[in-house]
């Protein structure tokens, strides 16, 4: 079994990258008053490694766990932090309440390793944005919709590290979300003074890589938006979307063990369906 990757990206910040599921990430921020964890990983085996490492960082242990959004791969491990306040946007809790149990049951049916997982709902909720000041750290929790409507990012201001979650991935993933929102969210990141961006999946971005990574994702989204609109206008078949190659849209097919190609195909189908549905709705007005 490959070991989960653990990296220290600043004096007080550690990033964990799953070796079991799509290189999903989580983080631990050490403060003078205890530890704050960002996201909880899907597989208990790896979530436990995160818990035991983070607990040892400070005698007061893990004070808060911030969930970036409601998707399974970021929240399933939350039941392994019973003594910590579980912080999330109200919308994240709403979505977990609505879809969490069904998504967990479905995941358990496919993945025996999840048998023991229990859904734990967030306990400390906020709306809009949140500034958490704890033990000398300022953690700005900001909304960043696009990948999902409940998405937030965590900016560890003193460390200049942004936990961008799935707002930043090697290839943006839109299914269930919104392309215009994602473009706005990515464009808003351009001017932040950052040393690192922790992507929701894949490697940590270093300062020198951030600009290019954001630009290439913005270009990618603009390109697929364009191509799918042309496709619909020309009346081409949905299945023919498979011919739109990821590399023609400016992204490599290699990251996340090749998973990005599937994300890309799903993006195209999702955009197509969104456009066709909107067109039909317009005709019925």
Nearer to Zn ion, 21 or 53 (CB): 21
Using DSSP, state whether 122 is helix, strand or coil: coil
Nearest to 34 by CA among 52, 67, 11, 59: 59
C-alpha 146/C-alpha 74 separation (Å) is 16
C-alpha 27/C-alpha 16 separation (Å) is 6
- CA distances for 271 relative to 147, 199, 231, 245, angstroms: 13, 23, 11, 15
Nearer to Zn ion, 57 or 167 (CB): 167
Which listed range, 85-93, 101-109, 197-205, 238-246, lies at the site for Zn ion (CB under 5 A)? 197-205
* Contact predicate 22/259, CB 8 Å: yes
Min dist. Cβ of residue 253 to Zn ion (A): 19
Nearer to Zn ion, 200 or 203 (CB): 200
The pattern of x and - marking residues 156 through 195 that bind Zn ion according to CB under 5 A reads: ----------x-----------------------------
The pattern of x and - marking residues 221 through 260 that bind Zn ion according to CB under 5 A reads: ----------------------------------------
* Contact predicate 42/21, CB 8 Å: yes
Residue 73, interface with Zn ion (CB under 5 A)? yes
Nearer to Zn ion, 57 or 154 (CB): 154
Residue 98: which H helix or E strand, with range?
helix 90-110
Which listed range, 71-79, 107-115, 136-144, 269-277, lies at the site for Zn ion (CB under 5 A)? 71-79
C-alpha 192/C-alpha 189 separation (Å) is 6
Which listed range, 68-76, 241-249, 266-274, 277-285, lies at the site for Zn ion (CB under 5 A)? 68-76
- Which residues make up the interface to Zn ion (CB under 5 A)? 73, 166, 200
């Amino acid at each position: 079994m490959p070991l989960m990757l653990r990296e220290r990206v600043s004096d007080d910040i550690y990033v964990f990258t799953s070796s079991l599921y799509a290189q999903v990430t989580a983080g631990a921020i050490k403060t003078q008053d205890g530890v704050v964890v960002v996201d909880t990983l899907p597989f208990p085996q790896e979530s436990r490694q995160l818990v035991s490492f983070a607990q040892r960082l400070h005698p007061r242990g893990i004070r808060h766990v911030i969930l970036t959004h409601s998707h399974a791969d970021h929240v399933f491990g939350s039941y392994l932090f019973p003594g910590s306040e579980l912080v999330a946007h109200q919308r994240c809790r709403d979505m977990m309440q609505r879809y969490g149990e069904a998504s967990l049951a479905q995941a358990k049916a496919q993945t025996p390793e999840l048998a023991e997982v229990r859904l734990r709902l967030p306990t400390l909720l906020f709306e809009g944005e949140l500034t958490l000041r704890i033990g000398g750290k300022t953690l700005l929790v900001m909304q960043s919709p696009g990948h999902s409507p409940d998405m937030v990012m965590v900016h560890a201001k003193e460390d200049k590290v942004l936990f961008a979650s799935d707002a930043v991935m090697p290839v943006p993933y839109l299914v269930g979300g919104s392309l215009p929102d994602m473009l706005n969210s990515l464009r808003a990141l351009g001017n932040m003074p950052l040393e690192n961006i922790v992507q929701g999946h894949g490697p940590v971005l270093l300062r020198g890589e951030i600009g290019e990574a954001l630009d290439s994702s913005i270009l990618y989204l603009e390109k697929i938006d364009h191509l799918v609109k042309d496709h619909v206008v020309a009346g081409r078949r949905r299945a023919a979307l498979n011919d739109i190659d990821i590399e023609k849209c400016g992204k490599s097919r290699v990251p996340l063990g090749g998973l990005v190609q599937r994300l890309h195909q799903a993006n195209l189908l999702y955009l197509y369906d969104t456009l066709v549905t909107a067109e039909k709705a317009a005709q019925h007005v």
